[in-house]
Amino acid sequence: MTKLTLDMELLENVPYLDQLLDFLKGKEELLPKSLTGRAILVGTIAGVTVYLITKKRYNLPPGPRGLPLLGNLLEFRNARIYEKMMEWKAKYGPVVKFNIGHIAIVGLNSIDVVMEAMVKRQADFAGRVHLYSTLLLTDGGRSIVIGDYSPTWKLHRKLATKALRYYMTGTHLDEGIKRTLTKTIGLIKERKGPFNPHDIISLTVFNIINNICFNFTCEVSDNYFRDMLQVLNIFLDEFGNGFLEDIIPPLRLFPTKKLKSIMKETDKFFGLLNEELVKHRQTIRKDTIRDFCDALLLAQEEAYQEEDPDVMSQITDRHIVQTLSDIFGAGMDTSRITLLWTLLALAQHPDIQDKLHTEVDHVLGGREFPSVSDRSNLPYTEAVLHESMRLYMVAPCGIPHKTLCDTKVGGYDIPKGTTVIINHYALHQDPEQWSEPHIFNPDRFLDQNGKMAAKPDSWLPFSAGRRVCLGESVAKPELHLLLAGIMRHFKVSLPPGAKVNTEPRGGSFFTLPQDYEISFESKV
């Protein structure tokens, strides 16, 4: 069969072709005059027809219809993405397709489809979305958190995991916790009356992360700490629902004030990290690994000594700075925001706080600071943190994934290159998984003996699969020991007559507590 015969047979089966032919009858003036022009027109119609008939068909998930060019963008004017996806779940089911501008997105809103995607088909969903803004903010995607799944990503993930595991061995974490809490407790005791704990809690977590990366701690008045904190705060406050430049390309020629502001702060942040990197290179010793930065520099030196061009190109200074940035950004924000939400919840629930104090005081006895070995004996403290992370999600949409191949989830086809969002908020608020999900109740994580029960599948603050949070192994024990240490020394309460607003601020990707004040009453 010739191609012409095939094309004519296909044309005969095109829907509405007869209407098109009827329309053209008597309207020869609309057709090209020359034989060549008419041949090109017929060829074009035939080619488009063959494409439409033979292109791959997908059984795509259901979802709301959007507007041309804008997609469903306008529906997020007065609603956060995770809230809107929960609304759509009730209408379309747990797998929902929608568009933000030209970007096709699939939202996963129940634990069954999330586990299918992130665990059963984890290799299919291991990619990251490379938007214009994320490439700018991560030096072309050199970040572990944002970087696409690749040999370079796997190398840096392996190096970072090894370095963090080293920090968790021996007495490193215990020493860091004691050093940090000593500063924190002293600063709190200096304050009189109710105050906003934001800066002190930020310093507490910052010193843990900075100690891991650069082996030193700061005072709240240090310029280095103040500069780093300013960058992190501006990013959280201004990120919101993302950047218009990602969905309206012409704006990239004339960036918005928001993007320019965040890029300015990001450049400052990378500059501070580069300064510490230079200092470490000047003082590093092969026989002593002081911190995470040393570990990365030694790995770089080994690659250069072996003259392996592939590895050398994957572990440049630009890669190292991005990896350090990942540890700071992810570790700092998740932990400090979780602690701020937890302190507010404890101030609101004195009965829960009393139970926590009883446990901490019994386990620590006369000691001022907890250690890693105490963790198994502090289940209620851990349950309080688990409940805080469930009810007050720091990153309710997580970090968007990207499919690396054509795949499936929930019975639907998901084409290669699709952006996929896990709605952690929906998982943590699902009434089918949690009894009275809007109530702060740490007991839901304990068994009948008061020990930590098996982790519920639907509790997923650190995600799952190949892109599980890099810092989970540090964040969980760090938060556990910091909260126990603070509660060993203080009771927290709301000022008389204070009205608490638990409506989170921030956009779709970060949820922070509103500014609040609490009182710290010394116990020790």
Q: Read off the pLDDT of each residue in 209-234 and give the average, rounded to a whole number.
A: 90
Q: Read off the pLDDT of each residue in 490-500 and give the average, rounded to a whole number.
A: 92
Most confident of 141-150, 210-219, 268-277: 268-277
Residues of the chain above pLDDT 90, percent: 51
CA distance 136 to 132: 6
CA distance 326 to 128: 15
Q: Read off the pLDDT of each residue in 248-264 and give the average, rounded to a whole number.
A: 88
Binned at pLDDT 50, 70 and 90, residue 31 comes out as low
Q: What are the structural domains of the chain?
A: 3-54 (no CATH), 81-522 (1.10.630.10)
Q: Which amino acid is at 200?
A: I
Of the two residues 524 and 144, the one the predictor is more confident about is 144
pLDDT recorded at residue 50: 47
Q: Is the pLDDT assigned to residue 456 strictly greater than 60? A: yes
Q: Which residues of 218-238 are buried (b: 16+ CB within 10 A; e: fewer)?
A: bebeeebbeebbebbbbbbeb
Q: Read off the pLDDT of each residue in 118-147 and give the average, rounded to a whole number.
A: 90
Q: Is the pLDDT assigned to residue 523 strictly greater than 90? A: no
pLDDT recorded at residue 151: 84
Binned at pLDDT 50, 70 and 90, residue 28 comes out as low
pLDDT recorded at residue 69: 84
**Per-residue pLDDT tens over the stretch 404-447:** 999 999 999 999 999 999 999 999 999 999 999 999 999 999 99
The set of residues, in sequence order, having a beta carbon less than 8 Å from that of 321 and lying 6+ positions away, is 139, 270, 273, 274, 277
Binned at pLDDT 50, 70 and 90, residue 29 comes out as low
165: left (phi over 0), alpha (psi -120 to 50) or beta: alpha
Q: For 32-188, list the strands marked E by DSSP.
A: 95-100, 103-108, 127-128
- Read off the tokens for 287: 């026989």
Question: Which helix (H) or strand (E) segment is 351 a member of?
Answer: helix 350-364
- Averaged pLDDT of the chain: 86
User: Bridge partners of 195?
Assistant: 518
pTM attached to this predicted model: 0.85
Backbone angles phi, psi at 507, to 5 degrees: -105, -140
pLDDT recorded at residue 279: 95
Q: Is the pLDDT assigned to residue 470 strictly greater than 90? A: no
Binned at pLDDT 50, 70 and 90, residue 25 comes out as low
Q: Is the pLDDT assigned to residue 27 strictly greater than 70? A: no
Residue 392's Cβ-count burial label (10 Å; 0-12, 13-18, 19+) is buried
Binned at pLDDT 50, 70 and 90, residue 245 comes out as confident
